[in-house]
Amino acid sequence: MQLTRIVEFHKALADLTRIRIIALLKQGPLHGQAIAGKLSLSPPTITHHMSKLRDVGLIKERRDKNTIYFSLNEKVLESCAAAILSVGNGDENMDMSISESERAAILNNFFTADGKLKTIPAQRKKRLVVLSRLVKGLEFGKVYSEKEISDYLRNFHPDYATLRRELIIYQFMYRKDGLYEMNPPELWNVN
């Protein structure tokens, strides 16, 4: 999650009603009418607040016939809240269950002596090690254009589009409107 996303997350939480909604959803899924009733608010007001929470990924929706049930996305809540603690520390230690020697062996097998990527690993664990190596040359907090990311990744492998997509899928980077930014390591999808 880059700095912009951290700010958006905290802006979404900077409202008493939204905090109260999160507290209600912590107890279990509820539909909009139930939330409105418990908070003594109108359904359009709840819709507005749910939209803000949805935009930052804090709620999930499930439709049952004509009723939409909202639930709290606790994983997003925890990771976004923890992300603020990682701002600026540049810690790139990943919480993967592999040893440093295994990581070194993977890097040795997939990179040439001059730092080129031989192939993109098919196995998830190896792919994550390779992607974590690729992002070491990128700056935390810097916003990159798609062309800049493509040019950077092209230095490693001709299939830069796949690598770029994988950096988003595994949350090493965040993309919005064709702009890319590094996420803090706590948000990398490496577990």
Q: Output the pLDDT for position 2.
A: 58
Contact call for residues 178 and 184 (beta carbons, < 8 A) = no
Q: What is the pLDDT of residue 99?
A: 82
Query: What range defines the domain where residue 135 resides?
Result: 88-187
Query: What total number of domains does the chain contain?
Result: 2
- Tell me how far apart the alpha carbons of residues 43 and 45 are, in angstroms, rounded to a whole number: 5
Query: How much is the pLDDT for 185?
Result: 78
Residues 75 and 129 occupy one common structural domain: no
What percent helix, strand, coil does the chain show, rounded to 5?
Answer: 55, 15, 30
pLDDT at 3: 66
Asked if 106 and 130 count as a contact pair (C-beta separation under 8 A), the reply is yes
* pLDDT at res. 117: 94
Do 56 and 33 lie in a common domain? yes
Confidence at residue 92, expressed as pLDDT on a 0 to 100 scale: 43
Query: What pLDDT is recorded for position 95?
Result: 43
Task: Give the whole-angstrom CA distance, residue 151 versus residue 89.
Answer: 26
**Distances from the Cα of 11 to the Cαs of 38, 111, 114, 176, in angstroms?**
23, 42, 44, 18
Q: Are the C-beta atoms of 1 and 184 separated by less than 8 Å?
A: yes
Are 58 and 102 contained in the same domain? Answer: no
pLDDT the model gives residue 183 = 82
**Domain edge (last residue) among 35, 57, 80:** 80
The helix (run of H) or strand (run of E) holding residue 72 is strand 67-72
pLDDT mean by block of 10 residues, the chain; 191 residues: 72 90 93 93 93 90 91 84 63 57 91 93 90 90 92 94 90 88 77 55
Does the predicted model carry a pTM greater than 0.85? Answer: no
Position 86 scores a pLDDT of: 62
CATH number for the domain including 113? 1.10.10
Query: Do both 33 and 105 map to the same domain?
Result: no
Report the C-alpha gap between 82 and 91 in whole angstroms.
13
Going by the DSSP 8-state scheme, the letter that residue 15 receives in this structure is S
Does one domain contain both 29 and 74?
A: yes
Given 30, 63, 80, which residue is the final one in a domain? 80
pLDDT at site 93: 42
Q: What pLDDT score was predicted for residue 6? A: 77
